[in-house]
Amino acid sequence: MLGLAFFVALIYFSAGTWDYWQGWLFVGVFTAMTIAFTIYMLLHDRPLLERRMDAGPWKEKEWSQKIIVSLIMLSFFAFIVLPILDRRYGLSPVPVWASLLGEAIMVLSFLFIFRVVRVNSFAAANITVTADQKVISTGPYAYVRHPMYAATLWLFVGVPLALGSWWTIVLIVPFLPILLWRLLDEERILRRDLPGYIEYTQKVRYRLVPYIW
């Protein structure tokens, strides 16, 4: 509840007004999806819930990941605040249909992330390898090695549109190198610490986009 209150305060302080329907819809969709996600884990996969809540740069063991996660957190705030400021000052207003499209993209991204975690109970918020961890090669992992990151990219396309901004979609350009750094450094750790991961990379050759990379 404190997190939700902070989220609402951040959005409406940035907007400078309560008369901002895109913000209310965004809060509603984001909150509904995250609560549904949490309830599912609480009922069906408590170890995964613990792994997902154990988040933040201070939870990472590798210094490279501490830096990367700090940059990701800053990027998340930028993806929230800058689209709202764009909309507030009318720099690149979007029509109603575009904001609704952004919400739809967000929902589809969340649903795909939900599909990923249903398959992979080891999808922790930090990069770590536990003693009982095994390589997951079914579901989305049969096609790309990092399906959650692929869904996250689409999430960061939907958020600016949902909040009423065209221009801030370009934030994905500086965000992409951070995500790729996270991905490649994670693979380095998994190759080193997770038995069978090297063989998995030989079987599933694409990281984010099938037949491309």
- Which tens digit of pLDDT belongs to each residue from 50-105? 777 777 777 777 788 888 888 888 888 888 899 999 988 988 888 999 999 999 99
In a domain? residue 152: yes
Task: Tell which residue, 178, 172, 181, 125, has the closest CA to residue 153.
Answer: 172
What is residue 85's predicted lDDT score, i.e. its pLDDT? 92
In a domain? residue 87: yes
In a domain? residue 213: no
What is the pTM (predicted TM-score) of this model?
0.84
What is residue 108's predicted lDDT score, i.e. its pLDDT? 94
Q: pLDDT digits over 104-163, tens only?
A: 999 999 999 888 888 887 777 677 777 778 888 888 899 999 998 888 888 888 999 999
In a domain? residue 208: no
In a domain? residue 148: yes
Q: pLDDT digits over 4-47, tens only?
A: 788 888 888 888 888 889 989 998 898 888 888 888 888 887 88
What is residue 1's predicted lDDT score, i.e. its pLDDT? 74
Q: Determine the structural domain holding residue 144 and report its residue range.
A: 2-203
Q: Give the C-alpha separation, 85 to 155, whole Å.
A: 19
In a domain? residue 74: yes
Q: How many domains is the chain partitioned into structurally?
A: 1
Query: Which residues, 6 or more positions from 211, have their beta carbon under 8 angstroms from its beta carbon?
Result: none
Q: Give the C-alpha separation, 181 to 125, whole Å.
A: 16
In a domain? residue 209: no
In a domain? residue 185: yes
What is residue 109's predicted lDDT score, i.e. its pLDDT? 92
